Amino acid sequence: MEVIIHRKIDVLDKIYPEWNQLKDEFHEITVFQDIRWIKSWWDYKKKKEHISPYILEIRFENKTIGIIPLYRSLVKFASLQFSVLKPIGSLLSDYLVPILSKKYAPKKILTKAFEKLHEDKDSWDFIEWGDIPENSIFDRMLRNQLVKDNFIFDRNRTFICPFLIINKDVTQVIGTFDKKLVKEIRKKTRQLKECGDLIYHKVTNKQDIQPILNKFFEFHCERYKNTNNPSRFRVEEERMYTIQTAEGLYKSNLLHLSYLRLNNEIISVEFAMEDGKNIYLYLTAFNMKYRRYSPGNILLYMLVDEACKQDYKIVDFTRGDESYKQQWGTLDKYNVQYVFYNNTIKSILYRIINSTYNSDDFNKEPILKQLLTKLTIRGCTSILSVIDRLRYKNVPNWKATFPLLFEDSVISCFIKTF
């Protein structure tokens, strides 16, 4: 078994399985591991931030048995830059897990991958991996101290991810909904039907994707027009990314784009994904003119009804603890985040920075202790930034220039006190 680090995004076209193979032969795959989703994310992200690919391929007998698609970016603190690795798809995706073949023991694949990461520790300072499903294979392996010898890590629960279990008994599924919600939806559905034909549609042709999404963008921008958080779809780049993503999902047979039409007018749109068993709700928008009829709720009610009839198993509301999700009879699961540190001075320093500047508990400490700790961190940061500049300039014997910073160094001694 060997592990190769690829630093060009084009390698994905060569090593990445198509959806049908991916979902059948690899563990815990969701739509967020589809190659078209990943590549759309990459094209979008690289326009906003300087990033570079860091893709681990695990091979056995010339066959790819594991893929860990990461990317590298820089985080700056004071005058010092830290190199961070994150999974491709971060922030805009859910359920980000390594791609592991079912034919091989996950522990062996992951052990090899993390051994390679440790060998290459000089090229990164920490790994920030969020949106891992709690109790997934990846989470269980890490909690069982898979990486304890070479890494320090912090694990935290992050987002609630509500989901609704469904079956062909529509009445039984609807019976789990909040009774007031059901009563209100049925009442408002009757009111709309008095105005004309109210019909649920699902997009089945590629040529319909852009027109329906254009209505979605229009609704979303109108809804958030006068708020402190205006719609991101005001920006052409955001709209094009969403259209590109939807078209990529369509090619993989993973798009679930539905809408509600009243006579000849679209009044609500739901951008979701599906894999044949599960539907993942992603973005919703509705025509503000019909706001009092709650067209978003009516559309979701009809979507669930149709999903039951089509024998789907789960409607996943994806991450977020918005109160309305609890009205739909959902159960809660959680995502977790891991941050890995590689035992180098710079990596451990970032852990200290993270546990001070980004910690609510630290802010409760006495002011004098906070001040002294932050002053020491700033001093260490300044010294390491000088060393980084010497490295960059290829100064000969730069290690000899700062002998105290190695082995029994001043910084190391400081770090050990934490």
Three-state SS for the chain is CEEEEECCCCHHHHHCCCHHHHHHHECCCCHHHCHHHHHHHHHHHCCCCCCEEEEEEEEECCEEEEEEEEEEEEEEECCEEEEEEEECCCCCCCCCCCEEECCCCHHHHHHHHHHHHHHCHHHCCEEEEEEEECCCHHHHHHHCCCCCCCCEEEEEEEEECCEEECCCCHHHHHCCCCHHHHHHHHHHHHHHHCCCCEEEEECCCHHHHHHHHHHHHHHHHHHCCCCCCCCHHHCHHHHHHHHHHHHHHHHCCCEEEEEEEECCEEEEEEEEEECCCEEEEEEEEECHHHHHHCHHHHHHHHHHHHHHHCCCCEEECCCCCCHHHHHHCCECCEEEEEEEECCCHHHHHHHHHHHHHCCCCHHHCCHHHHHHHHHHHHHHHHHHHHHHHHHHCCCCCHHHHCHHHCCCCHHHHHHHCC
* pLDDT > 70? residue 388: no
The pLDDT value given to residue 4: 97
**Confidence class of residue 408 from pLDDT cuts 50, 70 and 90?**
very low
Categorise residue 61: left if φ over 0, alpha if ψ from -120 to 50, beta otherwise: left
**Confidence class of residue 363 from pLDDT cuts 50, 70 and 90?**
confident
Indicate the range of 19-28, 137-146, 251-260, 364-373 predicted with least confidence.
Answer: 364-373
The pLDDT value given to residue 359: 73
Q: What is the pLDDT of residues 296-307, one digit of tens each?
A: 999 999 999 999
Kindly state the average pLDDT of the residues 315-327: 92
Pairing of strands 126-133, 80-87: parallel
Kindly state the average pLDDT of the residues 380-407: 59
* pLDDT > 50? residue 405: no
What kind of architecture, by CATH, is found in domain 163-316?
3-Layer(aba) Sandwich (3.40)
Domain 1-159+335-342, what fold?
A: Aminopeptidase (3.40.630)
The pLDDT value given to residue 166: 97
The pLDDT value given to residue 393: 56
Percentage above 90 pLDDT, the chain: 75
Within the chain, which residue ranges are assigned CATH 3.40.630.30?
1-159+335-342, 163-316
The pLDDT value given to residue 194: 94
The pLDDT value given to residue 410: 45
Average pLDDT across the chain, whole number: 90
Report yes or no on whether pTM surpasses 0.85: yes
The pLDDT value given to residue 2: 96
pLDDT: which is higher, 69 or 416: 69
* pLDDT > 80? residue 63: yes
* pLDDT > 80? residue 390: no
Indicate the range of 36-45, 256-265, 338-347 predicted with least confidence.
Answer: 338-347
Kindly state the average pLDDT of the residues 114-143: 95
b/e code 374-413 from CB counts within 10 Å (16+ = b) = eeebeebbebbbebeebeeeeeeeeeeebeebeeebebee
* pLDDT > 60? residue 206: yes
Tell me if 56 sits within 8 A of 4, measured CB to CB. yes
* pLDDT > 80? residue 133: yes
**Confidence class of residue 396 from pLDDT cuts 50, 70 and 90?**
low
* pLDDT > 70? residue 403: no
The pLDDT value given to residue 201: 97
* pLDDT > 80? residue 24: yes
Kindly state the average pLDDT of the residues 307-332: 94
**Confidence class of residue 381 from pLDDT cuts 50, 70 and 90?**
confident
